């Protein structure tokens, strides 16, 4: 067998395996087997199926998809599954349609052993899937350090067992997201064209803390002691209150302090009167002391 034909056959087999075990968003939950369905179930499923065909003929594909899915949830007929896959293709969801055609093929082949009518559905699904093969792309995804991680491609959650064989996707841009316990740990945007087979690698290890994040200021600053009325009072400096010297609050506090010192002018000593009389019997007025010791007066924090 020529190498090109062997390669094509390998791609076909891989695509069918991926479709058969695709754990993504199912088109609909399967109902009862057609062979075991009751007449009432068959009647209700047929009504929803006929309604879906009418909507599809009117090109109201989103509504038609709802009706086909409702019918399939009652009776899991391969014929209904085929209509679901075709409607997805009409909606432009080619990757999803490819997957559903593969599932339809497997179902129809299994049911054809009981009912020969489904052999025709199997042939039609196989032909439709082959037509789509050149219009879609495949993503091969590898995830390191994430045994319990879940992988989403677009809105679909993918079975981890199918990632290495290639996941069918619609051409264009799609997000590949890896999550652990509901928390996203890795993301990559993949852009693919029709016929592409692209491989991407993701690391599911939790991301380390940002080294550039600011750290808490634990510096212990000196405390200035000022004597007021004979008792020592502990007053914290403006820098202590404002925070680190590198912070904006500290710089604003320093500027404010400098302006206050520049505009207040010299501090004049307050005078106090003693009861000791002078030679004429009048009270003697003497110079009072600083309310605060000049030796403990804070120095200017800047030169300007």
DSSP string of 55-122, one letter each residue: HHHTT-HHHHHHHHHHHHHHB--HHHHHHHHHHHHHTT-HHHHHHHHHHHHHHHHHHTTT-TTHHHHH
Residues 10 and 115 in one domain: yes
Domain-terminating residue out of 113, 133, 153: 133
Run of H or E residues at 231: strand 231-235
Bridge partners of 233, per DSSP, are 226
Convert the pLDDT of each residue in 256-273 to its tens digit. Answer: 655 655 555 555 555 544
Residues 123 and 142 in one domain: no
Q: Which domain holds residue 129?
A: 3-133
Q: In what order do the strands lie in the sheet with 172-180?
A: 156-158, 150-153, 172-180, 183-192
Helix (H), strand (E) counts: the chain:
8, 11
Residues 43 and 125 in one domain: yes
CATH number, domain containing residue 123:
1.25.40
pLDDT at 278: 52
- Structural domains in the chain (count): 3
The answer to whether 74 and 105 have CB atoms below 8 angstroms apart is no
Residue 210 located in a structural domain: no
CATH number, domain containing residue 176:
2.60.40.1120
Residues 23 and 104 in one domain: yes
The answer to whether 168 and 34 have CB atoms below 8 angstroms apart is no
Residue 46 located in a structural domain: yes
Convert the pLDDT of each residue in 86-101 to its tens digit. Answer: 999 999 999 999 999 9
R_g of the chain, CA atoms, integer Å: 40
Residues 77 and 179 in one domain: no
Mean pLDDT value of segment 16-35: 59
pLDDT at 247 exceeding the cut of 60 = no
Q: Rounded to the nearest 10 degrees, how much is the dihedral formed by the CA atoms of 11, 16, 21, 25?
A: 90
Phi, psi of 176 (to 5 degrees): -110, 115
Residues 100 and 34 in one domain: yes
Residue 193 located in a structural domain: yes
Q: What's the whole-model pTM score? A: 0.60
Domain-terminating residue out of 104, 133, 162: 133
Residues 71 and 149 in one domain: no
pLDDT at 174 exceeding the cut of 70 = yes
Tokens 């199912």 sit on residue: 26
Residues 243 and 184 in one domain: no
Whose CA is closest to 19, among 70, 66, 81? 81
Mean pLDDT value of segment 270-277: 50
The answer to whether 292 and 229 have CB atoms below 8 angstroms apart is no
Residue 280 located in a structural domain: no
């Amino acid at each position: 067998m020529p190498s090109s034909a062997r390669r094509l056959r390998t791609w076909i087999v891989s695509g069918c395996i991926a479709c058969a075990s695709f754990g993504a968003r199912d088109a609909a939950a399967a109902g009862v087997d057609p062979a075991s369905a009751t007449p009432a179930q068959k009647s209700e499923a047929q009504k929803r199926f006929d309604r879906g065909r009418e909507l599809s003929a009117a090109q109201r594909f989103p509504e038609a998809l709802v009706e086909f899915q409702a019918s399939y949830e009652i009776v899991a007929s391969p014929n209904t599954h085929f209509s679901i896959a075709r409607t997805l293709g009409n909606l432009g969801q080619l990757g999803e349609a490819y997957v559903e055609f593969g599932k339809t093929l497997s179902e129809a082949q299994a049911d054809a052993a009981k009912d020969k009518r489904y052999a025709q559905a199997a042939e039609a699904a196989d032909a439709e899937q082959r037509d789509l093969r050149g219009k879609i792309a495949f993503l091969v995804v590898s995830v390191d350090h994430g045994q319990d991680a879940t992988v989403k491609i677009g809105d679909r959650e993918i079975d981890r067992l199918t990632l290495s064989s290639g996941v069918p996707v619609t051409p264009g841009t799609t997000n590949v997201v890896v999550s652990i316990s509901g928390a996203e740990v890795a993301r990559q945007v993949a852009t693919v064209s029709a016929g592409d087979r692209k491989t991407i690698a993701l690391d599911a290890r939790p991301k380390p803390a940002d080294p550039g994040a600011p750290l808490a200021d634990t510096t212990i600053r000196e405390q200035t002691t000022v004597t007021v009325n004979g008792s020592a009072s502990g007053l914290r400096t403006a820098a202590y209150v404002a925070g680190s010297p590198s912070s904006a609050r500290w710089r604003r506090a320093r500027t404010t302090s400098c302006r206050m010192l520049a505009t207040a002018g010299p501090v004049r000593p307050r005078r106090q009167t003693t009861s000791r009389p002078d030679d004429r019997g009048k009270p003697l007025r003497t110079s009072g002391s600083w309310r605060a010791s000049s030796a403990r007066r804070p120095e200017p924090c800047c030169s300007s």
